[in-house]
Structure 1
């Protein structure tokens, strides 16, 4: 039994006339009659009563008509669904991201993608760089937003945004117009993530060392949110991307840093062998948003 046989059968069953069914199918009547006869022989059942003046369905034919219509409807539904996924109109996109990305352009990218692809299911998972790397390799996610990037020969990396670092400090700490890191030797620097290393924590440590600032008092946390919570209750200070300071947070004041530390970068990463329509569309939108934001920033 195949789809062509089912379509032939349904046409005859609905028309109850071999000539009209053949016209509907765009074929001659004799080949259609032979196909139906062969189909009956394969099934081991007579599907039509062929009278002198009329064609009617047998009991087997009536049952098959119900099943055939359902099968053909499912096939057509599957065809439409797969076509829409292939066109990027439906499907799923799995996005991994470092926590600080939610303060920057990531929300705008997500909104822009949703506007053009409302029926694509988005799965969003916060991860550190090490987990992003593993998840992308294992195909557990489709794209990864990392700082600064994921180093892998099998990945394609697109740099989206460079931004300076700022100091998150308790609002009870008077630092003036800018924070001189060399004057904060008595402060505990909250660094994240605690593991695996190297990580953003090491990026901060190295950036400070380049300006002769040694971070003597260190406390490691698992993620940005934990670090900010500790800053808010006066447990220390934390160096974060400037975009993190765009959101007001009770108990915290964000300060420019007197030392011109190296900038951090946000990148979007995907597998080189990625063929998904959704991924390609998302990467295009991500780059468009990044260019728009950069253009706005430069007036």
Structure 2
């Protein structure tokens, strides 16, 4: 196997086309320089240099080898610094899972903050419901989740990012849109509903049934994506409970109203991660979230 010292010797001669000047640049004498290049050529199996008493030139094989050798040396020189930056969390890759509603609001601000504070961290973004996020965190496929969950496994730590109101999405022409007062919880009794899925959006589903006496015979659709729910409301398929951040989405024919008899800011969005993660970039971002 050839060594980096042999490659450095070859590159020095190739760049100077003179053994004496190359030896001087490397702070060594010519005999050991010549031996290093001879060892390299024996390993490669071809002559990399043509030399005589008057001049040194590169062979065609030497020219090809030089291109790769310069890249190799640059990578070798940069490797220790890269390793230190990755270990410190200044560089690296962070995979983030997020719910659709967080994509409407806080996700953009979080991405901006990470990019400004840690420009060396590359972000991978994946839209998924909270249950999928927890599965992916457990299996190491994502590092950080932005979701809604009241209960998490013991290996998951979390930080509250946002608490917001629960709103009702109402279509054009519906009687509740024309009320001259704020909504009350009993206003939705007997209305067709578009609900969050009990299996795929469990936390939001549990939140709704905790605060409203849902008649499941009036549930027309159970789905997991907020934007789909809002589009169904626009097409007059029912009413939908959504986080306030979803009102940032402008869908023609849909209006959003709050409940006067519902506690303010009951919908929580949390950052979630595996406490056993060894990703230094994650530790830096968690510190940023907590600050």
* 1:256 and 2:255 are equivalent in the alignment: no
- Aligned ranges 1:85-104 → 2 under 5 Å: 86=86, 92-104=93-105
Q: CA 1:69–1:37 in 2, change beyond 3 Å: closer, same or farther?
A: closer
How far residue 266 of structure 1 moved from its aligned partner, in angstroms, is 0.7
Gaps of 5+ in 1: 289-299
Contact 1:149/1:269, CA 8 A, preserved across alignment: no
Q: How many pairs align?
A: 280
Superimposed CA distance per residue, residues 221-245 of structure 1 (whole angstroms, 9 cap, x where no aligned partner): 2321222122223332222222222
Q: CA 1:88–1:40 in 2, change beyond 3 Å: closer, same or farther?
A: same
Farther-moved stretch of structure 1 (279-288 vs 260-269):
279-288
Gaps of 5+ in 2: none
Contact 1:144/1:268, CA 8 A, preserved across alignment: yes
* 1:70 and 2:79 are equivalent in the alignment: no
Secondary structure in 2 matching 1:238: strand
How far residue 18 of structure 1 moved from its aligned partner, in angstroms, is 3.1
1:207 equivalent in structure 2: 211
1:161 equivalent in structure 2: 162
Of 269, 273, 280, the match for 1:266: 269
Q: CA 1:45–1:66 in 2, change beyond 3 Å: closer, same or farther?
A: closer
Farther-moved stretch of structure 1 (190-199 vs 130-139):
190-199
Q: CA 1:268–1:22 in 2, change beyond 3 Å: closer, same or farther?
A: same
Q: Distance in 2 between matches of 1:88 and 1:15?
A: 40
Q: CA 1:21–1:149 in 2, change beyond 3 Å: closer, same or farther?
A: farther
Contact 2:226/2:246, CA 8 A, preserved across alignment: no
How far residue 25 of structure 1 moved from its aligned partner, in angstroms, is 0.9
Superimposed CA distance per residue, residues 140-180 of structure 1 (whole angstroms, 9 cap, x where no aligned partner): 32321111367133333222112222222234223443211
Taking structure 1 as the reference length, what is the TM-score of the superposition?
Answer: 0.76
- Aligned ranges 1:122-271 → 2 under 5 Å: 122-148=123-149, 151-171=152-172, 172=174, 173=176, 174-193=178-197, 195-196=199-200, 198-208=202-212, 213-216=213-216, 217-219=218-220, 220-261=222-263, 263-271=266-274
Q: CA 1:48–1:253 in 2, change beyond 3 Å: closer, same or farther?
A: closer
Contact 1:10/1:68, CA 8 A, preserved across alignment: no
Superimposed CA distance per residue, residues 203-233 of structure 1 (whole angstroms, 9 cap, x where no aligned partner): 211233xxxx344522312321222122223
Secondary structure in 2 matching 1:196: coil
Secondary structure in 1 matching 2:202: coil
Superimposed CA distance per residue, residues 27-54 of structure 1 (whole angstroms, 9 cap, x where no aligned partner): 2334323333444454565655665x43
1:54 equivalent in structure 2: 54
Q: CA 1:145–1:250 in 2, change beyond 3 Å: closer, same or farther?
A: same
